[in-house]
């Protein structure tokens, strides 16, 4: 379950912590060969078939957290292979960003409607009656499903009075709204990288921890150690992610203890994004255009590019809050480096693009940042500081939750053009986003602003979050109410937008 500690989340935290320690300590990085033994101590490991397998998997997790590629299974290479080339202050992600450690994969059964032992062989045979493909038959008084004829509609499961029929599906495949999860010749999951948009939902859905994204913790710490001034720009979903003790007022002090020069709230960039998208909507849609999609979620944009390339021109040209905030920081501090800290794996992909690299140097998830705090043994309750992040509007902070982007833009449009009847529609999860785009493509959503969010719930449900989604939503709502102003039109930075394009 998302947001709750498990063996998988604990392993991830330990890996990020050890990689951060390695970078802070410096020296001969060949000692990373011993890390699997630190991560998986002892002689017996109950989580896998053998302790050797657990250590092999831990080793690959370490490599990916350092931005290194997986080692080929059929070749012998030391764990530290390539580490010196990675121990630098500037390194972007070599594709693929999302990886499957093949020997960690459980090779889960393929999608099927499964009749369990709860079947009572009842006389009504409702499962058979509702099946549109006549895939259900009865054999010796028990329901039987022809998997070749079945289309997995689930009507039989809904009709069964005993709930005896189960839709069995690989968790990673069910979570992937891009249908990018395939299987190899051994039945293990494989990612079709031509479809993958790096949303990371497969990563957080795999109960075996076989899917892992690459990281930049190692390079970020090297940049700090080499004397670069690194500013952290923090996504609005950060509130509450590190527990009750690390309040927004303490965050800057805690980040400086890690080596950051300062902290800026990305909700400020969200305000600028809101103003630009409102103007763009009025120019493109209100004056006779068909519809416009929001620009904030990189996985949503990549989905449109992949499945609806002829509709890309309908997506807003406004820069994302991450980029606008980064440009704002670099305008004031030209020699600084910028690290985006947020909930999103897809932001790593966005930042690696050629036209973004000069703006955003590093991307960390909240999970990875937590590993840095652990490495430096920073206990949130002991942090002293009172430096509130108080430059963003309530609407800017609301970008963290599904529906927040469209609502913010709608509020500004009402102020700019009260007579315009702006219509909005949103979708959470890439499958739902695809359905929304199908409607838009046929002209059914003309006049609308469409908000696409790859993660169900919005950014607070991103692959790098720590808190349960409902709890995070409550905390963001509380944080919105504490904002100094309500709308982006009240932002003290509102005149900067044009200079940052």
The model's pLDDT over 147-183, given as tens digits with 9 standing for 90+, comes to 999 999 999 999 999 999 999 999 999 999 999 999 9
Q: What is the pLDDT of residues 86-109, one digit of tens each?
A: 878 777 778 899 999 999 999 999
- What contacts 305, CB < 8 A, 6 or more positions away? 312
pLDDT at 141 over 90: no
> pLDDT > 70: what percent of the chain?
99
Give pTM, 2 decimals. 0.95
- pLDDT above 90 for 496: no
357, 481: one domain: yes
Do 92 and 102 have their domain in common?
Answer: yes
Q: Is 153 part of a structural domain of the chain?
A: yes
Which of 218, 244, 279 terminates a domain? The answer is 218
223 and 365 co-located in one domain: yes
The rounded distance, in Å, linking the Cα atoms of 7 and 187 is: 24
> Is 1 a domain residue?
no
In angstroms, the CA 462 to CA 474 distance is 16
Q: Model confidence at 446, in pLDDT bands (50, 70, 90)?
A: very high
% pLDDT > 90, the chain: 90
- Does 209 share its domain with 261? no
Verify that 238 and 326 share a domain, yes or no. Answer: yes
Q: Is the pLDDT of residue 498 over 80?
A: no
For residue 500, is it within any domain? Answer: no
Residue 1 has pLDDT above 70, yes or no: no
**Same domain, yes or no: 51 and 188:** yes
Q: What is the pLDDT of residue 46?
A: 85
CATH code of the domain in which 159 resides: 3.30.70.20
Band (120; pLDDT cuts 50, 70, 90): very high
Helices 366-375 and 7-25, axial angle in degrees (round to 10): 60
Per-residue pLDDT for 3 more than 80? no
Are 200 and 149 found together in one domain?
no
Q: Mean of the pLDDT values across residues 230-235? A: 98
Q: How far apart are CA 143 and CA 141, in angstroms?
A: 7
Is residue 84 in some structural domain?
A: yes
Are both 66 and 186 inside the same structural domain? Answer: yes
In a domain, 2, yes or no: no
| Whether residue 13 is found in the same domain as residue 93 | yes
Rounded-to-integer distance, Cα 447 and Cα 437, Å? 14
Q: 218, 252, 278: which is the final residue of a domain?
A: 218
pLDDT confidence band for 241 (50 / 70 / 90) = very high
Mean pLDDT, residues 307-318 taken together: 97
From 232, 196, 215, 195, select the one nearest 93 (Cα to Cα): 215
Same-domain check for residues 223 and 364: yes
Strands (E) in 161-248, as ranges, are 165-168, 181-183, 189-191, 211-213, 230-234
Asked whether residue 365 is assigned to any structural domain, the reply reads yes
What are 379-412's pLDDT values in tens digits? 999 999 999 999 999 999 999 999 999 999 999 9
H/E run at residue 426? strand 423-428
Contact 160, 126 (CB under 8 A): yes
Q: pLDDT digits over 26-47, tens only?
A: 999 999 999 999 999 999 988 8
Decide if 99 is inside a domain.
yes
Domain count, the chain: 3
| Number of Cβ within a 10 Å radius of residue 73 | 10
Q: What angle do CA 384, 236, 362 make, to 5 degrees?
A: 85
Per-residue pLDDT, averaged over 121-134, amounts to: 96
Structure tokens at 223: 């940049």
Per-residue pLDDT, 221: 97
- Whether residue 236 is contained in a domain is answered as yes
Residues 351 and 443 in one domain: yes
Rg (CA), the chain: 24
Domain, as residue range, for 401: 219-495
Q: What was the pLDDT predicted at 2? A: 66
Q: Are 435 and 199 in contact (CB under 8 A)?
A: no
Are 43 and 131 within one domain? Answer: no
């Amino acid at each position: 379950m998302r947001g709750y500690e498990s063996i998988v989340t604990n392993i991830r935290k330990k890996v990020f912590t050890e990689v951060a320690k390695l970078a802070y300590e410096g020296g001969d990085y060949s000692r990373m060969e011993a890390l699997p033994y630190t991560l998986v101590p002892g002689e017996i490991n109950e989580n896998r078939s053998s302790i050797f397998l657990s250590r092999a998997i831990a080793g690959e997790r370490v490599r990916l957290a350092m931005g290194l590629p997986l080692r080929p299974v059929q070749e012998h290479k030391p764990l530290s292979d390539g580490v010196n080339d990675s121990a630098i202050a500037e390194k972007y992600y070599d594709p693929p960003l999302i990886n499957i450690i093949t020997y960690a994969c459980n090779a889960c059964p393929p999608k099927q409607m499964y009749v369990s032992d709860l079947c009572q062989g009842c006389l009504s045979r409702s499962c058979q009656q509702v099946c549109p493909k006549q895939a259900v038959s009865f054999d010796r008084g028990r329901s039987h499903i022809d998997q070749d004829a079945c289309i997995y509609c689930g009507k039989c499961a809904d009709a069964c009075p005993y709930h005896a029929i189960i839709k069995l599906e690989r968790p990673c495949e069910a979570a992937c709204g891009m249908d990018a999860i395939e299987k190899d010749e051994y039945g293990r999951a494989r990612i079709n990288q031509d479809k993958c948009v790096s949303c990371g939902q497969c990563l957080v859905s795999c109960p075996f921890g076989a899917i892992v994204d690459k990281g930049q913790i190692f390079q970020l710490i090297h940049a700090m150690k080499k004397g670069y001034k690194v500013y952290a720009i923090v996504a609005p979903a950060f509130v509450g992610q590190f527990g009750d003790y690390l309040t927004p007022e303490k965050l800057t002090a805690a980040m400086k203890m890690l080596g950051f020069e300062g902290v800026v709230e990305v909700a400020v960039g969200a305000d600028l994004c809101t103003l630009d998208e409102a103007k763009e909507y009025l120019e493109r849609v209100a004056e006779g255009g068909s519809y416009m999609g929001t620009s904030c979620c990189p996985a949503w944009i990549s989905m449109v590019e992949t499945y609806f390339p002829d509709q890309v021109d309908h997506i807003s040209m406004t820069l994302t809050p991450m980029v606008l905030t980064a440009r704002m920081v670099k305008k004031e501090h030209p020699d600084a480096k910028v690290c985006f800290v947020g909930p999103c794996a897809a932001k790593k992909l966005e930042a690696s693009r050629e036209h973004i690299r000069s703006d955003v140097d590093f991307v960390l998830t909240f999970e990875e940042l937590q590993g840095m705090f652990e490495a430096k043994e920073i206990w949130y309750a002991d942090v002293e500081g009172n430096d509130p992040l108080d430059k963003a509007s309530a609407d800017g902070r609301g970008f963290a939750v599904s529906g927040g982007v469209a609502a913010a833009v709608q509020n500004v449009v009402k102020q700019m053009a009260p007579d315009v009847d702006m219509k909005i529609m949103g979708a959470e999860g890439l499958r739902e986003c695809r359905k929304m785009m199908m409607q838009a493509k046929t002209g059914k959503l003309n006049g609308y602003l469409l908000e696409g969010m790859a993660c169900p719930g919005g950014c607070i449900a991103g692959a790098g979050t720590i808190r349960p989604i409902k709890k995070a939503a409550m905390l963001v709502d509380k944080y919105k109410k504490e904002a100094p102003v309500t709308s982006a039109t009240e932002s003290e930075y509102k005149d900067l937008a044009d200079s940052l394009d």
